[in-house]
Amino acid sequence: MARILVVDDSEDVRLALMTLLEDIGHNVYEAEDGSEVTAMVLSGSPDLVLLDVAMPRMDGFEALKRLKADDATSDVPVIMVTAKGRPEDLAMARNLGARDYINKPWAEGEVEMRVDWALSAASRA
CATH of domain 3-124: 3.40.50.2300
How many whole angstroms separate alpha carbon 25 and alpha carbon 124?
A: 21
pLDDT of residue 14: 97
Fill in the DSSP letter of residue 72: T
pLDDT digits (tens, 9 = 90+) for 68-109: 999 999 999 999 999 877 889 889 999 999 999 999 999 999
- Alpha-carbon torsion 57, 82, 43, 23, what sign? positive
- The structural domains of the chain, with segments of one domain joined by +, span 3-124
Which positions ≥6 away from 15 have C-beta within 8 Å?
none
Residue 119 pLDDT level (bands cut at 50, 70, 90): very high
How many whole angstroms separate alpha carbon 3 and alpha carbon 12?
A: 20
